[in-house]
Amino acid sequence: MERTFTALLARMQELRDLQGIIGLATWDQETYMPAKADGARAHQLSTLQGLYHERLVEPWLGETLAWAAEQPGLEADQRAMVRVLTQERDRAVRVPQALVKALAEAQSRGLAAWRQARKEKRFSIFQPALARILELRREQADAYGHDGERYDALLEGYEPGMRVARLTPVLTALREALIPMVAAIVAAPRRVPEVLKGRHFDGEAQWRFTLRLLEAVGFDLEAGRQDRSIHPFTGGTHPSDVRLTTRIDEANPLNALFSTIHEAGHGLYEQGFSEAHYRTPLAAAPSMGLHESQSRLWENVVGRSLAFWEHFYPVLQEAFPQALAGVDVGGFHGAVNRVSPSLIRTEADEVTYNLHIVLRYEMELLLIHDELPLADVPAAWNERMKRYLGVTPPDDTQGVLQDIHWAWGEFGYFPTYSLGNLYSASLYRAAERALPDLTGHLRRGELLPLRDWLRTHIHRQGYRLPAEELIRQVTGRGLTDTDFLDYLRSKYGALYGISL
Amino acid sequence: MERTFTALLARMQELRDLQGIIGLATWDQETYMPAKADGARAHQLSTLQGLYHERLVEPWLGETLAWAAEQPGLEADQRAMVRVLTQERDRAVRVPQALVKALAEAQSRGLAAWRQARKEKRFSIFQPALARILELRREQADAYGHDGERYDALLEGYEPGMRVARLTPVLTALREALIPMVAAIVAAPRRVPEVLKGRHFDGEAQWRFTLRLLEAVGFDLEAGRQDRSIHPFTGGTHPSDVRLTTRIDEANPLNALFSTIHEAGHGLYEQGFSEAHYRTPLAAAPSMGLHESQSRLWENVVGRSLAFWEHFYPVLQEAFPQALAGVDVGGFHGAVNRVSPSLIRTEADEVTYNLHIVLRYEMELLLIHDELPLADVPAAWNERMKRYLGVTPPDDTQGVLQDIHWAWGEFGYFPTYSLGNLYSASLYRAAERALPDLTGHLRRGELLPLRDWLRTHIHRQGYRLPAEELIRQVTGRGLTDTDFLDYLRSKYGALYGISL
């Protein structure tokens, strides 16, 4: 095959097309696929992933990428494409096929053991499978290569460029600020009542309202769609084909509302990539944390703000005149922002949420470093829960077994959730500087100025820069907990009537 | 790569998985894909088809198939797998890539020219594009190879094993029997009124009724689904994942009813392949004609029979009590079987339908043989319409431009529709011999005995035998028009009160 940038681009496009199709098959699996097709779909996905891997590790691609990296005539975007694909390929070639296979098997066993362990509420049932997963993930980290910090090699798979040495001080400081903040809120004399409990919210009306929200945030429903699934997610095949899902619960409208706004944040990112980057490695977020910053910015910073609901609460009331009778916008805003230390990460509020993450991050470091006997994991978990959040899981299912991530072998993933929160606050602050009437826009239901600012400064940049560099370019500084803590202090201080 | 049957099977499975995924991407394109994803999907499909072709023509596969064909130890099914994949591969390698590309381009231009020609109702606008398509298809036929009959080489792509020398006498005899039959029916003193005209049939009620039909014929909705699309079709990814579509028209319930039964016939075939054949070339119909025999057997022989509606018409009336008020089962049965020579193939009744096909088959032979100047095509078409059906198209759009097939370069496809009709009648007659109370079953809405008989004798056989051989094995003789003509004579003689 020829050694030209055109040939290289054609291979990049082929790889992106395959990723798109894998996205379609995965989306379909969670939405419309008939139940009995499970086994066939697993084969189909494995065939596609095998083809993708085979094309990626082909020696010609490695040689052509190395050649391209030396060409002085390439444009900046072309150089970035070469850099990003080289990173991906280098990681793929470093892991021996035997290890890939062993990991897939360990994950599959891990998942089964985790499900059984949850059923019986005993971590010990999951422990042997976890031991094997950890052994293999350590081996994989060494195969990727690192400067003595194995966790860095795993983190790189989700948050390229981020390092433990950079992350630990930020998350530790965050933890130290959050623990007293939670305590102060819990002790606040003002109560925030759960005004939505015990009411019924018609499913079809919820669905229609979520579509209104999608329209309002500027999600293009001709270049995407929304469907229902058990676990909401964002998928699709291409920036012109972005697929969100949401979940309707007639007893609790917040599920669908915030799932839709959250996934719309991801979806706007995907739809916002530059046409010039389509079908290349640049039509991608530089990290999971940055992707998550978009979903959390829309879900939390915008979607749980009083300004946002000043416009949308009357619309919501029109959709649910009976269910929302007697609830005013203040009561609703309080109900969607109640702070309450709890056991389950996915149900946590904005203030306590990151303590759940820091706990997992600390546990993961210990596990990957092999510094914690596995038999002691539940006790270590529970001890931290008590220390950080003041609560104690009654059993392992509500404790260390609550997340699927470790059963899937995903170590290094959890911190990207906190990075998403920290980046979202910093980005929103930068947006406020650039759009002086941003709060006014929200109050009037005008969400497009914010979307367009994000589109210009984040979405259209794609993967030109690593996440923290892009954040630095947009906000003037890199990763920090300052903006996020300021945001929490101001919002929750007002809500609970205390000084934080 | 190693030369073992296991390695060969793995490649067969990979190819089937890719076909399945192409099926998913195509289904999605017609059902749920957002409008703006058109361009991206074309790229994705072209990448998948390119990969499929690349894997198929790889020299290793050819060598291994040749090696396997010589192995005495293979089981019968394994030998059949080798034979079927060898046939497919041989055809693929014979066509030079330049011709494949030229054909794709000619089809794309053909489609655009055909659309424009239809708009302006003038064949001459389509003529240059058609000339190019014919030139390339002749070249392709010569590349495939044939014994002096170019059309055979094209027919082979849809109906493997069938030849012009076998087909022409059967279709000519069919034509000669049908022309007087149509004339006799048109002249019959008894009229069959259009009792369904001008009524309104609620779309949701139609949808629910089609699902009842799917259940009744034994289509497994856990191994398949039904959705809506503009043009109904059967697709999917695997026998455990078969996807039908239907089309709802509130002014005409027959659209959805018969689309669903027709596609269910295809779908039952796909769901009925043997588990032992999954992910191999044997999990396939041996020809388009045989596939069509299943859809037409269910749609026409069963779905337009009086016995079938004796059970289902009361159910239909319950679903549409107002719309069907005053229409009895006899009136309804007449309305779904009215014979009326008309211009448009897709709207033709069972008696006139095959005259539309014979006309196209004869025209295709002339065109592929280059025996008809293209400027004379509309006149030749109209002259045949007059001779066979007694009607004359007022313009080319209602005449020679009505079908998309030629614009797509599909020459050799039309006769498979007639083969479907002829095979369906022969199969039904064989089923009647095997299931003596078959009419009684239909009268009681019991459709599973027929489905199970077809499953055993047709579906589970997959592609073990060529179509006509399988038909011979099941019915005792090969392709014939006798059973079909007997079926028409008996049914339409009774309906119109004449002796045919």
Catalytic (active site) residue B364: no
Q: What is the pLDDT of residues A386-433, one digit of tens each?
A: 999 999 999 999 999 999 999 999 999 999 999 999 999 999 999 999
Between CA B500 and CA B498 the distance in angstroms is 6
Report CA-CA distances (Å) from A485 to A159, A297, A488, B236, B319: 22, 14, 5, 51, 61
Chain B positions in Cβ-Cβ contact with residue A214 (cut-off 8 Å): none
Is residue B117's pLDDT more than 80? yes
Q: What is the pLDDT of residues A314-343, one digit of tens each?
A: 999 999 999 999 999 999 999 999 999 999
Between CA B226 and CA B248 the distance in angstroms is 12
Q: Judge: A37–B223 Cβ closer than 8 Å, yes or no.
A: yes
Cα dihedral across residues A235, A240, A241, A242: positive or negative: positive
Residues A415 and A141 sit within 8 Å (Cβ to Cβ):
no
Q: What is the pLDDT of residues A166-201, one digit of tens each?
A: 999 999 999 999 999 999 999 999 999 999 999 999
- Nearest CA distance, B288 vs chain A (angstrom): 24
When CB atoms are compared, the residue of B37, B47, B222 closest to A34 is B222
Question: Which residues does residue B238 pair with via DSSP β-bridges, in sequence order?
Answer: B241
Dihedral, CA of residue B341, residue B346, residue B352 and residue B358, to nearest 10? 120
Between CA A412 and CA A158 the distance in angstroms is 7
Q: Judge: B36–A241 Cβ closer than 8 Å, yes or no.
A: yes
Question: Which residues does residue A245 pair with via DSSP β-bridges, in sequence order?
Answer: A227
When CB atoms are compared, the residue of B47, B223, B238 closest to A17 is B47
Among candidate residues B263, B244, B266, B248, the one with its CA nearest the CA of residue B208? B248
First to last CA, chain B: 64
For residue A2, name the pLDDT band (cuts at 50, 70, 90): confident
Question: Which residues does residue B245 pair with via DSSP β-bridges, in sequence order?
Answer: B227
Contacts of B434 (CB under 8 A, 6+ apart): B453
Q: Is A187 on the interface with B (CB under 8 A)?
A: no
- Nearest CA distance, A34 vs chain B (angstrom): 5
- Nearest CA distance, B17 vs chain A (angstrom): 5
Report CA-CA distances (Å) from A230 to A57, A227, A392: 35, 10, 28
Residues B401 and B120 sit within 8 Å (Cβ to Cβ):
no
Most B CBs within 10 A among A22, A32, A38, hence the mutation to make, goes to A32
DSSP structure class, residue B500? -
Which is catalytic among the residues B263, B270, B292, B350?
B263
When CB atoms are compared, the residue of A13, A21, A225 closest to B32 is A225
Q: Is A111 on the interface with B (CB under 8 A)?
A: no
Within 13 A of A359's CA, how many CA atoms are on the CB side?
27
Question: Which residues does residue B242 pair with via DSSP β-bridges, in sequence order?
Answer: B224, B236
Among candidate residues A167, A136, A109, A134, the one with its CA nearest the CA of residue A377? A134
**How long, in residues, is chain B?**
500
- Spell out the alpha helix ranges (H) of B391-447: 414-434, 438-443
The pTM of the whole model exceeds 0.90: yes
Q: How many CB pairs under 8 A join A and B?
A: 116
DSSP structure class, residue A227? E
| Tokens, residue B219 | 């289509």
List strands edge to edge, sheet with B241-246: B224-228, B241-246, B234-238
Residue where the block lists tokens 């002749």: B138
Between CA B360 and CA A290 the distance in angstroms is 59
Contacts of B27 (CB under 8 A, 6+ apart): B235, B236, B243
Percent of chain B's residues with pLDDT above 70: 100
Chain B positions in Cβ-Cβ contact with residue A41 (cut-off 8 Å): 237-238, 241
**Res A32: pLDDT:** 98
| Tokens, residue B373 | 């100047």
- Nearest CA distance, B5 vs chain A (angstrom): 19
Q: Judge: B279–A43 Cβ closer than 8 Å, yes or no.
A: yes
Is residue B1's pLDDT more than 90? no
Contacts of B107 (CB under 8 A, 6+ apart): B133, B407, B408, B409
Q: What is the pLDDT of residues B364-393, one digit of tens each?
A: 999 999 999 999 999 999 999 999 999 999
ipTM confidence score? 0.95
First to last CA, chain A: 64
Is residue A259's pLDDT more than 80? yes
- How do beta strands B234-238 and B241-246 pair? antiparallel
Residues B195 and B327 sit within 8 Å (Cβ to Cβ):
yes
Stretch 210-239 of chain A: residues touching chain B, C-beta under 8 Å: 220-225, 227, 237-239
Most B CBs within 10 A among A47, A214, A225, A273, hence the mutation to make, goes to A47
| Tokens, residue A473 | 């370019």
When CB atoms are compared, the residue of B17, B32, B44 closest to A44 is B17
Label residue A6 exposed, middle or buried (CB < 10 Å: 0-12, 13-18, 19+): exposed
Between CA A333 and CA B166 the distance in angstroms is 78
Q: What is the pLDDT of residues B435-477, one digit of tens each?
A: 999 999 999 999 999 999 999 999 999 999 999 999 999 999 9
| Tokens, residue B93 | 């390698």
Chain B positions in Cβ-Cβ contact with residue A227 (cut-off 8 Å): 32
- Nearest CA distance, B268 vs chain A (angstrom): 15
Domains, in order of start, for chain A? 1-93 (no CATH), 146-500 (1.10.1370.30)
Report the amino acid identity of residue A17. Answer: D
| Tokens, residue A115 | 């499900």
For residue B2, name the pLDDT band (cuts at 50, 70, 90): confident
**How long, in residues, is chain A?**
500
Is residue A148's pLDDT more than 80? yes
Percent of chain A's residues with pLDDT above 70: 100
**Res B364: pLDDT:** 98
The residue ranges of DSSP E strands in B152-198, in sequence order, are none
Nearest CA in chain B to A20: B44
Which is catalytic among the residues A156, A159, A263, A292?
A263
Q: What is the pLDDT of residues B401-428, one digit of tens each?
A: 999 999 999 999 999 999 999 999 999 9
Contacts of A368 (CB under 8 A, 6+ apart): A134, A137, A138, A141, A150, A151, A154, A411
Q: Judge: A241–B17 Cβ closer than 8 Å, yes or no.
A: no
Largest CA distance in chain B: 73
Q: Is B344 on the interface with A (CB under 8 A)?
A: no
Q: Is A366 on the interface with B (CB under 8 A)?
A: no
